Amino acid sequence: AVRKPIVISTWDTGIAANQAAWNVLSKGGRALDAVEQGVMVTESSLNCCVGLGANPDRDGYVTLDASIMDEHANCGSVAYLERIKHPISVARRVMEKTPHVMLAGSGAQQFAVSEGFPLEPARLSDQAEKEYKKWLEKSEYKPVINIENTKSPTAFAPQKLSDGSWNHDTIGMVALDAAGNLSGSCTTSGMGFKMRGRIGDSPIIGAGLFVDNEVGAATATGQGEDVIRICGSHLVVELMRQGNSPEQACKKAVERIIKIKGSKAKDIQVGFIAINKQGEYGGYCIQKGFSFAVCYADDKNFMVQGKYIL
Ligand code: SD4
């Protein structure tokens, strides 16, 4: 039997987001509404890595990326968006109200304001301010490629925490609704202290997020550059189309990154999660410490530790 509705999302912040998505899905609502309302919870919460409370770029500005995709292959995204609280909703407006898929920077902000989204103050959260000041003490303005080679804890990649887990920089969510339709969303502030103008995988359809209503849906978290390199979420969906389970598909995508990165793979983290039309779910990551939240009943909203390769 098909397990539906179901929603899954990245990291432990996924529990609260799933709950909001479940409120939509359990009433027979559309997956698209569920994945939007789900990640809005994370965008509103004070969080290192999603929404306006997140860590800024190297120049001290919070810049946000988000994307959304529905069962008809409609998609929308915003990149490098500043001072707007809910990038995911702006991405949805791009999808629904413009002839385009992606808007970036000041144009995306202008569109958001014209759609009635308030322009929030250009101010860092207290926590982000503190983190930024700390980062500035040692700030290294080096191209990404060099940063990758440093041992500095200010490095570009998601950082490994003392308990062995990784800090999370994104929420990606995919859902199957009661009608059997799939949608997905992804929203992030990107890497903390990134170069100004840097855009990650999250707003790129096929990289950070992909939905094919015949097959399944996938989303990514972790070092966006290496997700983009393999068109990660699209790859996961295509692997499911070839008959792989969601978990196998995520695993094969992770293996491809590891193959490309060689010995450098141990310095980065990437995780994929996916669901298919049957409501099966799975996730895989490069290394230990990635988790995702799964919800398919009022009393079933739980964390799963991502299996890993290295
Ligand atoms: C990015 N993929 O901007 C995002 C960040 C992330 O865990 O998910 N980090 O590259």
What ipTM describes this predicted complex?
0.97
The phi-psi region of residue 180 (left if phi > 0; otherwise alpha if psi is between -120 and 50; otherwise beta) is left
| Protein residues whose CB sits closer than 6 Å to any atom of ligand 1 | 158, 168-170, 188, 190-191, 200-202, 221-224
- Is there a binding annotation on residue 219? no
Ligand 1 centre to CA of 267 (Å) is 14
Q: Burial, 74: exposed, middle or buried (Cβ in 10 Å; 0-12, 13-18, 19+)?
A: middle
Q: Which residue has the tokens 């939905």?
A: 211
The two tokens of residue 177 are: 């609704």
Residue 221 CA: nearest ligand 1 atom is 8
Rounded CA-CA distance 169/157 in Å is 10
Encoded amino acid at 302, one letter: F
Ligand 1 centre to CA of 33 (Å) is 23
- Is there a binding annotation on residue 206? no
- Is there a binding annotation on residue 221? yes
Neighbouring-strand partners of residue 166: 160
Q: Burial, 89: exposed, middle or buried (Cβ in 10 Å; 0-12, 13-18, 19+)?
A: buried
- In Å, the largest CA–CA distance within the chain is 56
Counting ligand 1 atoms within 8 A of each CB, the residue from 156, 201, 229 with the most, and so the one to mutate, is 201
Rounded CA-CA distance 266/125 in Å is 32
Task: Return per-residue pLDDT of the chain as tens, 310 residues.
Answer: 999 999 999 998 899 999 999 999 999 999 999 999 999 999 998 878 889 988 899 999 999 999 999 999 999 999 999 999 999 999 999 999 999 999 999 999 999 999 999 999 999 999 899 988 988 887 765 433 333 333 333 334 455 555 555 556 689 999 999 999 999 999 999 988 899 999 999 999 999 999 999 999 999 999 999 999 999 999 999 999 999 999 999 999 999 999 999 999 988 899 999 999 999 999 999 998 899 999 999 999 999 999 999 9
Q: How far is CA 177 from CA 35, 36, 95, 238, in A?
A: 10, 13, 20, 21
Catalogue the active-site residues.
170
Ligand 1 centre to CA of 10 (Å) is 11
CA angle 48, 251, 275 (to 5 degrees): 75
Ligand 1 centre to CA of 151 (Å) is 19
Counting ligand 1 atoms within 8 A of each CB, the residue from 148, 169, 209 with the most, and so the one to mutate, is 169
Rounded CA-CA distance 200/65 in Å is 7
- Is there a binding annotation on residue 13? no
Residue 168 CA: nearest ligand 1 atom is 7
Evaluate if pTM is beyond 0.90: yes
Helices (H) and strands (E) in the chain, counts: 9, 13
Residue 11 CA: nearest ligand 1 atom is 7
Name the residue among 34, 62, 27 with its Cα closest to residue 211: 34
